[in-house]
Chain A
Amino acid sequence: MTAILFDGIVQGLQLSLLAVGITLIYGLGGVLNLAHGQFAVAGGVAAALLLQLGISPVLASLGGIASAGVLGLIVDRTLMLPAYRYRGEERLLLGLILTLGFSFIVDGTLNWKFPEFSLTFRLPVPLMDVAGIPMRTASLAASLIAVLTFAGLFAFLRLTLLGKSIRSIIENEVGAELCGIDPSRTRTLIVCLAAMMAGVAGVTQGLFSSLGTEMGPEFTILGLLVAVVGGVRSINGTLAAGILLGIVNAFASHYVGAYVAYIILLSFAMATILVRPAGLLARFT
């Protein structure tokens, strides 16, 4: 029972990492990034390539995460430009379609160039004991990385001026611009940050399981579900929602099977949109 709970938390943190990037980018005036999972895969693939070159796992991972960030930079500076020219629903729709198209391009390219690819990390100590329960070291390591990443993100956003400027653009772009903050530079920064968070998710996926090039769409959908339940504008909500859904998924998978578990997650998302669109776990403002 506790084992399932722990497993759920581990998975949940993974989901949160994917979802937080979507939340960040959505905060940029409602651009829903349907290519987000591809950032995770790209990061993982880059890390794997670096590993093959003989670079140490830690550096390879950092390299993978940085690559994801660079991809985010490129996407923001090229693909997203048409979307940024508009506001409101036009921007939403354009962002949706453009990122969807981009996700196909990346998915198609990766599957074509690296068809049998996967990223897997092997750790020297496979099992460790936590509170009397044997846990895979990989899971623990992945969770630790996720927690540290989130802590770092929160610290950055809450304590640094740059982080606050990011929050200000998300909260009120007009007001931020009047303070002398460059909206498009900040947007690029946000997209990079979001992509790097996804990159971390991709690398940790390779840690506690394995990452394949075809996982992009799956990651995107999972991230989307969690972001919606947590509230697409709330980072705290995203973290909480990820863990919650991870636990729900773990228990559901164990008791009723994978398909039903997935349907439960999907229903959570649908219910959230219909009942509390701001997110089940979003903070009351």
Chain B
Amino acid sequence: MRKCADIAALTLVLAFLPAAAGGSPYYLRLATLALVYMAWTVAFNLIFGHTKQLFLCLNALAGTAGYVAVVLAIQLKLSPWVTVPIGVAAAAGLGALFSYVSVLRGLGVIFLGIVTLAFSLIFHNLVLGLRQFTNGETGLVTRGLGFPLLERPVAGYYVFLAVLLAALLVYHLLMASKSGMAFRALSDDELTAELSGIDVTGYKVLAAAVGSAILGLTGALFAFYNGIVSPSVFSFVGVDIPVLIALLLGGMRTRLGPVLGAVAFALIEELVRPFGQLNVLVYGVLLIVLFTTFRQGLVPVLARASAAFRGTRAPAAASRPAREG
């Protein structure tokens, strides 16, 4: 249970954050956004961190769920409680499909990246082109569609906190089970894993489906929370890039890496905000620096630092029993 101590601590901190924000709607929204990106980064950790599937269409997956949920709610007058699951299913299905096809065709990282990037662009153009449903560039208003909970800032924060914790829980369960071992094996060396009898296809598709589901759920809920859904809400530069940076910053294949990374990224965003357009430049520098030097991420660095700290204070933790047998 020691393993869950960090998640418990995190939950406590995050649960009381709105109080600490002192009622400022700006900071509350910022914190909520951070939660959204944390959940998305957990998903990407599963898809890319653990099973090396370079999905460059996170925005399209989240956006598909978002648009499907919203458009169905508007056109068919269905409750979001119905349309959001449909949206999530769509996202999960797409993610699983891309994963399956890529394994089937033996696509390497690059080609999968290009295919998903193409999909991301197709999504963008579909949204713009199907304006009779999506209202094109202007977007659709998502208030008053039957999701009052998300229209209140504080409640919205806690909804996303629940989503994040659910995502972390799913992640934990996956990693603690057979799947976790399979992920570790296949991220190390796919061929060897396959030869050892591990169903590489199955596990990759699983990771992609679960990750896409998380992306979709968060995306669909975000569409309602945001009050408006438009192409710019789910843009490549707005979703994929921050998630990639957050995952790299926090530490790939670690449990809390996505959380820390997203926080770090949010801080950096705030610092860069006064410079306006230059945020793109900062993204670029971050990507380069992170990928060449800081590849481990924050979590391992912090872990090593805390281990060193603990090491100097007391003898090694794995101590013998006080009495010799």
Contact = CB atoms under 8 A, between A and B. Distances in A.
Interface of A: 30, 32, 79, 82, 89, 92-94, 96-98, 100-109, 111-112, 221, 224-225, 228, 257, 259-260, 262-263, 266-267, 269-270, 273-274, 277
B113 to A, nearest CB: 7
Interface of B: 54, 101, 105, 107-111, 113-115, 117-119, 121-122, 125-126, 128-129, 241, 244, 277-288, 291-292
Given A79-B288, A104-B283, A263-B129, A273 B121 contact: no
B57 to A, nearest CB: 11
Contact of B119 (A102, A225, A228, A270): A270
A40 to B, nearest CB: 18
A102 B284 contact: yes
A112 B277 CA distance: 7
Contact of B115 (A96, A104, A274): A274
B114 to A, nearest CB: 6
A277 B115 CA distance: 11
Contact of B114 (A112, A224, A262): A224
Nearest to A268: B118
A97 B287 contact: yes
Given A32-B110, A98-B292, A108-B284, A269 B277 contact: no
A107 B241 CA distance: 15
B121 A266 contact: yes
Contacts of B282: 108
A189 B288 CA distance: 23
A267 B125 CA distance: 12
Contact of A108 (B108, B119, B125, B277): B277
A257 B114 CA distance: 24
A89 B107 CA distance: 12
6 contacts: A101-B284, A104-B284, A260-B125, A266-B118, A266-B119, A269-B114
A266 B117 CA distance: 9
Given A108-B277, A270-B119, A96 B284 contact: no
A105 B285 contact: yes
A269 B291 CA distance: 28
B288 A270 contact: no
